[in-house]
Structure 1
Amino acid sequence: MRTRMLVTALLSVAVVTTSGMSTPPRGEVHGRFDRPRSGFAPATTALHEGSPRSAGLDPDPIRAATRQLAAWTRQVPGREHPMYGGAVSLLAHDGTIVSREAAGYELRYADGEGTELPPGRREKARTDTIFDLASMTKLFTSIAASQQIEDGAIELRAPVAEYLPEFGVHGKRDITVRQLLTHTSGLQAEVQLWKLPPERRIPHVMELKPTSPPGSGYRYSDPNMIVLGELVERVSGKPLDEVVSERITEPLGMDDTGYNPPRSELHRIAATEYQTSPYRGMVRGRVHDENAWSLGGVAGHAGIFSTVDDLAVLGQALLNGGSYRGERILDERGVRRLMTNYNTEFPEHSHGLGFELDQRWYMAGLSGPRSAGHTGYTGTSIVLDPASRSMAILLTNRVHPSREWGSNNPSRVALSQGLAQSLAVEPRRGDTAWFTGSSSTPATLSTDSLGGTTGEVDVSFDAFVDTQRDTDGSDRLAVEYSTDDGRSWHPVTLEATGPGAPEEPRRTLAGSGHRAWWKVHGSIPADRSAVRVRWRYSPDERYVGRGVYVEDITVTDRDGVLLAGERQPGRLRADGWLPRVR
């Protein structure tokens, strides 16, 4: 239950959200969210085991997230079924693996209706369980294509038809390689190749007619990546699975990653769906995606299986700028291309080469302009955050036994948010800041009566704002004042300065990805009445960022200081805000 508490009482509480966490020395960026780093991690950074505390992180949000992931293998309020049969997650920061957890089952059901196997025949998920990555395969295809760009075999801006002449029909002559990689080709979202004779499947994709002019919009499209896989094969002269093996997984030592896993590993592979159209029964050890299955299990859009540890190696190689343990799969320029937004014309669909960027709907508090990742239909996801040199990997079999059982997006959000909240945001000036927490309920921080005022009243404070980029007015910080003892409140127009701050005065503040403190000022009209001031945060109900912090609150009028928040904490009352003590 939310309660109204004096700040002095809150500060006396021994345990808050960051309690027990070892505080890094001032100036140290280890474990800090509010000191983003540019560029890549050192190429020598290698994964190693550790604890959240050893990496400068707060363990509590991480533990809460992984407990929630485990709970969702059992029941979910408001849903008839568990969110997924099993889940394996991995979190890493600065090369330290701070969490690796498994929950639930890699095999749980006997049929598509959800009939559970007897306990003795169920197989528990383990940290080395192999999962069908589904559309996360697109990342491997994109890296393989980027390697060919780096080698000079492919030109990013060149028409695809230069390499695949049969593709240049039905208005596709000008579609470029870049448009395939950024899903701006105009091709349709899906095809149903398994319904065609084998010899017609790839030709059918090549003969597709765009449903919109190339470059005119964003549409996520499996055919884009099917074509790209064919392009990699054509210019390399090798099958796609060989290219991925020889140039990505083998150099990086990703022994559990690849297409069409051997039957000898079936006992480690998570089951997916019980398929009836086409009829395949309980799919396990073979690709779930029907199109990839119809293409022999190897395709540009789906087909790869992997583990959290193998994916962590790939993730660290990319955070390192393309190199891991002396093996380089891309140069730094190539990795920057993967994480550069080519879709600035389509703001909600930021996209690098194959990698999605800044997608808060699954990256949560790790979102930022360079945050890169992808999801997979089977329930998988990876988030790479170069700004904090962190990664969050979640592998589930949410389609086991049926895709109709629903999405696992809340689990993706929970894991990314847990890691984001474990990274510290420190007070910039004093020893205390006020934090909105991770709740999706509104929060207010209010002054007591500041007495009668003379002249215009100035309100100033420092703010750290990391919220959802809203379109409906939610997930914003507002400052308001009252001259009738809180019966009515009026907005204060705010001017903020600092990286990512709005350029014009605003009545509310929101921001995403800049990860910087702002200096904020606002003015209250001259009125001799006693005045109160409050900071009101209205979060988005679905997706929250790292949150909002305020500190160094100062209120003055013509005669001097009415409130000095750092020296007079007892004059602030919190409802939903928490103290963050250095």
Structure 2
Amino acid sequence: MRVPALLIATTMALSVTLPAHAEGREARFDQPHEGWSSNVLRTGTPQRVGLDPAPLDAALAQIERYTVPDATGHPLFAGAVTLFAHDGVVVTHEPTGWAVRYADAAGTELPEAQRVPMAQDTIFDLASISKLFTSIVVMRQHELGRFGLDDPVARHLPEFGVNGKESITVRQLLTHTSGLVAWLPLWSQYPDIPSRLKAVMDTKPRSAPGTTYLYSDLNLITLGLLAEKWSGKKLDELVRDDITAPLGLVDTGYNPPAAKLDRIAATEYQAGRGIIRGSVHDENAWSLGGVAGHAGMFSTARELAVLGQAILNGGAHAGGRILREDTVELMLTDFNQGFPGNSHGLGFELDQRWYMGALTSPRAAGHTGYTGTTLVLDPLSRSIAILLTNRVHPSRNWGSINPARRVAADGLAKALAVRPRHGTAWTPESNGATLTTRELPRRSAEQQLSFWAFVDLDPGDKVVLEATDDGSAWREVRVLAGYGQRRWQKVELETESAGKFRWRYVRGTGYGGRGVYVDAVRVIDERGVALDAEREPAGLHPEGWRAADR
């Protein structure tokens, strides 16, 4: 008897506001929140909000190891600041390594006395996280009625409506479905700011609008120009008036003043610019005066967390409001369902396992930056994971820091508990691991198997429930797979009588999730209970599975 696969649902909407956890109550991964929080960020300990500190400490230790040279002869990044927040409490705000470490492109290390260590208040070039600030000010203009999301951009910027761009909409710019090319060498092939902006306006799409997903800096440069057109203000003024001032952010903005230079992390060595520190790393943003829709913002981990908390709060923090709740909901809605793997809200990236790690869900939102910056917001657990590094210091060619991004997100996810639904839960630890029932009495033609399952697995991972008559051959009964629901689900099956059942873990090639747990296994036949694993723990035989209490 073959039963169709069970795919765990992957959608969850925000709706009503719920009160925050009481201090000290355990933080649960398996009890997702709905609605907006109303927290004001404050500093505390993991225990204060019920997090297990061990996974956080392990993540921080690994991030620190990334600052030590490895087999390549250099570290993954010179330094980092990691910030974890849960339920409005910053539980970790940890600097490691160096904000300034190298003297040249070859990676010549400065004498230690001339280096600058990372600090909690180190200011980073956010690179493409800047796109979130641009998107927020654009959506503020939407709240003011200045445009419709499906308005053609050319209605507001007539000079944009050439070379096949006449039908591109504002929504398509925000979701990277406009068809515009990813990048143009504005800084090197055009002599001044007017000619560089004209090149963006004149560019020809690579594909028809709405037909493909292609991440493009040009989308956000155009959105910055739109925001300036609608408001009559420059983009840096809009960001100040609409975001940083209402949120009380004093170290967040474009072109940081020279007085803050000693707190700014260095980035790359570039010909003609030397080791860059205090001006934007992105060449195109630099050539546009340091203020552009796609790059140019600087900030600290703590101030970026305030922005993140404002989003989790539905657009407000500590009495300052930057957006309405319905606008934030729009920004966290996936408009790219036609482009699997490229989920995107209005400005925010969604559901991106490659850097969101085990915090990934269809509601997880965030962005990364080329300089080595990462912001992950998890509305379902009301958590924030921030990893800011200067990974391009001194060279952009020293490797990808995506593993470090996932280490940070995974550490926070694992600090959130998954508690057994009943007495004892089991979770696999290795590919091919099996959890097998003892031999069952064959007293009837059919049996009823029930158990509770918690499933949060990377696509490609699965647990296969199988049955056998005599142990010589196993047949598939059901597949447990999927992620994002974060709730225990009761599974009840009527099956052909079997001698044994087993749960077999199959590891794919992805990045992993929070895991799978099986609990309260029970088999009933016509004569009654054939197995109750909660009353008879020895009735389950684990090979590569462990008993788990969280």
Question: Which whole-Å CA distance do the structure 2 matches of 1:102 and 1:574 have between them?
Answer: 41
Aligned to 2:457: 467
Question: Which whole-Å CA distance do the structure 1 matches of 2:432 and 2:253 have between them?
Answer: 46
Q: Is the Cα contact below 8 Å between 2:246 and 2:320 reproduced in 1? A: yes
Question: Which whole-Å CA distance do the structure 1 matches of 2:508 and 2:352 have between them?
Answer: 15
Instruction: Show structure 1 runs of 5+ residues with no match.
Output: 1-23, 495-507
For the pair 1:479 / 2:465, whether they are aligned, the reply is yes
Residue 489 of structure 1: how far off its partner (Å): 4.5
Q: Deviations over 1:185-241 (max 9, x none)?
A: 000011110111113100000001111000011100000001001111111111101
Q: Structure 1 residues 215, 256: CA separation in 2 closer, same or farther (over 3 Å shift)?
A: same
Q: Deviations over 1:437-466 (max 9, x none)?
A: xx5644322233335554234332110101
For the pair 1:434 / 2:426, whether they are aligned, the reply is yes
Q: Deviations over 1:476-519 (max 9, x none)?
A: 0111234444xx4523322xxxxxxxxxxxxx221111112222
Aligned to 1:14: none
Residue 81 of structure 1: how far off its partner (Å): 2.7
Aligned to 2:476: 492
Q: Is the Cα contact below 8 Å between 1:337 and 1:352 reproduced in 2? A: yes
Question: Which whole-Å CA distance do the structure 1 matches of 2:167 and 2:276 have between them?
Answer: 39
Aligned equivalent of 1:268, options 263, 269, 274: 263
Residue 524 of structure 1: how far off its partner (Å): 5.1
Residue 83 of structure 1: how far off its partner (Å): 1.1
Question: Which whole-Å CA distance do the structure 1 matches of 2:176 and 2:419 have between them?
Answer: 39
For the pair 1:40 / 2:36, whether they are aligned, the reply is yes
Aligned to 2:481: 510
Question: Which whole-Å CA distance do the structure 2 matches of 1:187 and 1:356 have between them?
Answer: 18
Aligned to 2:12: none
Aligned equivalent of 1:374, options 367, 377, 380: 367
Aligned to 2:448: 458
Aligned equivalent of 2:243, options 234, 241, 248: 248
Q: Is the Cα contact below 8 Å between 2:308 and 2:384 reproduced in 1? A: yes
Q: What are the equivalent positions in structure 2 for 1:181-580 lying under 5 Å apart?
A: 181-195=174-188, 196-198=190-192, 199-276=194-271, 279-428=272-421, 430-436=422-428, 441-450=431-440, 452=442, 454-468=444-458, 470=459, 474-485=460-471, 488-494=472-478, 508-522=479-493, 525-526=496-497, 531-580=499-548
Residue 248 of structure 1: how far off its partner (Å): 0.5
Question: Which whole-Å CA distance do the structure 2 matches of 1:575 and 1:121 have between them?
Answer: 54
Residue 433 of structure 1: how far off its partner (Å): 1.3
Aligned equivalent of 2:123, options 124, 130, 145: 130
One-letter amino acid matched to 1:509: L
Question: Which whole-Å CA distance do the structure 2 matches of 1:526 and 1:551 have between them?
Answer: 21
Aligned to 2:16: none
For the pair 1:59 / 2:59, whether they are aligned, the reply is no
SS at match of 2:341: helix
Residue 432 of structure 1: how far off its partner (Å): 1.8
Question: Which whole-Å CA distance do the structure 2 matches of 1:97 and 1:105 have between them?
Answer: 22
One-letter amino acid matched to 1:182: T
Q: Is the Cα contact below 8 Å between 1:355 and 1:374 reproduced in 2? A: yes
Q: Structure 1 residues 109, 441: CA separation in 2 closer, same or farther (over 3 Å shift)?
A: farther
Q: Is the Cα contact below 8 Å between 1:29 and 1:35 reproduced in 2? A: no
Residue 48 of structure 1: how far off its partner (Å): 1.0
Q: Is the Cα contact below 8 Å between 2:21 and 2:49 reproduced in 1? A: no
SS at match of 1:41: coil
Question: Which whole-Å CA distance do the structure 2 matches of 1:246 and 1:581 have between them?
Answer: 48
Question: Which whole-Å CA distance do the structure 1 matches of 2:413 and 2:99 have between them?
Answer: 28
One-letter amino acid matched to 1:347: P
Q: Is the Cα contact below 8 Å between 1:440 and 1:544 reproduced in 2? A: no
Q: Is the Cα contact below 8 Å between 1:440 and 1:541 reproduced in 2? A: no
One-letter amino acid matched to 2:30: D
Question: Which whole-Å CA distance do the structure 2 matches of 1:255 and 1:200 have between them?
Answer: 33
Aligned to 2:82: 89
Q: Is the Cα contact below 8 Å between 2:26 and 2:417 reproduced in 1? A: no
Question: Which whole-Å CA distance do the structure 1 matches of 2:55 and 2:443 have between them?
Answer: 43
Aligned to 1:169: 162
Q: Is the Cα contact below 8 Å between 1:481 and 1:524 reproduced in 2? A: no
SS at match of 2:273: strand
**Percentage of identical aligned residues:** 54
One-letter amino acid matched to 2:424: T
Residue 135 of structure 1: how far off its partner (Å): 0.3
Q: Structure 1 residues 538, 251: CA separation in 2 closer, same or farther (over 3 Å shift)?
A: same
